[in-house]
């Protein structure tokens, strides 16, 4: 990178950092103001004191920050890009850069690189950071939004050739215990008869990494036998919190977890669509820049406001198209792949044309 690239890159990075702090703070404040009454009522129902409740909220929003970053990153990226261009044009620095022999696209390349890095950061956050806090975040959601510390009617399906279905009448995340446990195991690869495991209670033993059963019994066509352990160390308490829900919450699952959920629930449209949304959403960081930057760069003062409004309209149209296609996909009017990728393909092609036709 040359000196001019580093100069433009520093301006873009500063605008991105300031925008990210502002939007995350705004989202936290709006969520808190809109739900504080319900949060307080549920906290009092659970017996939390004022200090404990304040500390609990601090921990909850700290864990919620990675999810917020994946939600606001594309909007922060495009705003940072437009602020960078406005800063350069306000200081009359674009024309001297062009006089060095650079094209407008070459001048804006650090801004576009910021969009690529933001897209990679979103993908990395979804894959490695969000799943680490997803389990405790869902536990906090149960307490704040539903006023209870247990998850009822837990259902979890895993495996392809060896399929397993786990049901628990009630799951206590804090105590790591399940009540009313039933697990059906079917090995289609070996064509073995199904096996049913039932227990009144199951407690997770962290040292052994497995669930200890109370009054556990294994039922097969050959008969019944007592069983002391569930034999599923992969079903950790965090996995049960993240995936043992009837409605899948994609914001708390990684790409690999969504692939496993699709294998276990192949007919659930929302899971397949969530995976493709996870793949398409990071590209919005680049697409919004391709749509906005050609209109942000203007050398005629009279047309700047009009071009800025057109850029905002295109970005808003991309967002509305995403929301509409998501709704159509969830209700079965569009195939999940089409619903997730259609706005990205259409507006991505339009952005590429606009970027290619940028005045130099």
Residue 47, pLDDT > 90, answer: no
DSSP output for 81-130: HHHHHHHHHHTT-HHHHHHTT--HHHHTHHHHHHHHHHHHHHHHIIIIIH
Residue 239 and residue 12: Cα distance in Å, rounded? 39
What's the mean pLDDT when you consider all of the chain? Answer: 89
Q: Which residues contact 185 (CB under 8 A, 6 or more apart)?
A: 162, 163, 164, 194, 195, 196, 197
User: Could you tell me if 244 and 156 are in contact, meaning their C-beta atoms sit under 8 angstroms apart?
Assistant: yes
Residue 159, pLDDT > 80, answer: no
The pLDDT value given to residue 249 = 65
What value does the mean pLDDT take over residues 233-260? 75
Nearest one of 104, 111, 101 to 358, comparing CA atoms: 104
Which pair of tokens denotes residue 210?
Answer: 């497995």
Q: At what angle do helices 255-264 and 269-280 cross, to 10 degrees?
A: 160
The pLDDT value given to residue 52 = 92
pLDDT-wise least confident of 98-102, 261-265, 287-291, 353-357: 261-265
The pLDDT value given to residue 262 = 79
Residue 19, classed as helix, strand or coil, is helix
Looking at the DSSP bridge assignments, the partners of residue 157 are 165
Share of the chain above pLDDT 70, in %: 95
Nearest one of 292, 285, 329, 324 to 119, comparing CA atoms: 285
Binned at pLDDT 50, 70 and 90, residue 119 comes out as very high
CA atoms within 13 A of residue 304's CA, in its CB half-sphere: 11
What value does the mean pLDDT take over residues 7-28? 96
pLDDT, tens digit, 9 for 90 and up, residues 178-231: 999 999 988 877 677 889 999 999 999 999 999 999 999 999 988 999 999 999
User: Could you tell me if 192 and 177 are in contact, meaning their C-beta atoms sit under 8 angstroms apart?
Assistant: no
Residue 276 and residue 335: Cα distance in Å, rounded? 11
Residue in the structure block whose two tokens are 């019994």: 217
First to last CA, the chain: 20
The pLDDT value given to residue 5 = 94
């Amino acid at each position: 990178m040359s000196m001019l690239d580093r100069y433009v890159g520093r301006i873009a990075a500063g605008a991105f950092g300031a925008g990210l702090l502002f939007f995350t703070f705004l989202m936290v404040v709006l969520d808190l103001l809109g739900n504080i009454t319900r949060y307080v009522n549920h906290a009092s129902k659970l017996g939390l004191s004022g200090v404990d409740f304040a500390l609990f909220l601090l921990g909850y929003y700290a864990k919620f920050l990675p999810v917020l970053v994946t939600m606001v990153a594309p909007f922060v990226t495009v705003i940072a890009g437009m602020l960078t261009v406005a800063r350069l044009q306000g200081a009359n620095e674009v024309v001297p850069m062009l006089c060095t022999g650079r094209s407008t696209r070459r001048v804006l390349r650090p801004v576009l690189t910021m969009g690529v890095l933001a897209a990679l950061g979103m993908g990395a956050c979804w894959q490695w950071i969000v799943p680490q806090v997803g389990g405790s975040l869902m536990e906090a959601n149960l307490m704040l939004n539903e006023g209870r510390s247990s998850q009822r009617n837990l259902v979890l399906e895993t495996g392809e050739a060896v399929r397993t279905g786990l049901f628990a009448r009630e799951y206590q995340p804090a105590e790591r215990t399940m009540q009313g446990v039933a697990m059906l195991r079917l090995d289609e690869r070996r064509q073995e008869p199904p096996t049913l495991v039932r227990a009144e209670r199951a407690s997770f033993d962290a040292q052994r990494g497995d669930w200890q059963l109370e009054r556990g019994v294994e039922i097969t066509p050959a008969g019944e036998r007592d069983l002391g352990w569930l034999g599923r160390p992969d079903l950790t308490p965090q996995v049960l919190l993240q995936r043992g829900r009837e409605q899948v919450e994609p914001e708390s699952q990684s790409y690999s977890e969504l692939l496993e959920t699709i294998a276990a629930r192949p007919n659930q449209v929302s899971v397949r669509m969530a995976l493709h949304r996870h793949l398409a959403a990071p590209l919005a960081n680049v697409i919004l820049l391709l749509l906005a930057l050609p209109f942000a760069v203007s050398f005629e003062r009279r047309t700047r406001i009009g071009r800025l409004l057109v850029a905002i309209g295109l970005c808003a149209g991309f967002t509305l198209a995403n929301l509409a296609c998501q709704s159509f996909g969830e209700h079965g009017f569009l195939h999940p792949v089409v619903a997730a990728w259609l706005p990205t393909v259409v507006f991505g092609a339009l952005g590429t044309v606009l970027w290619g036709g940028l005045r130099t």
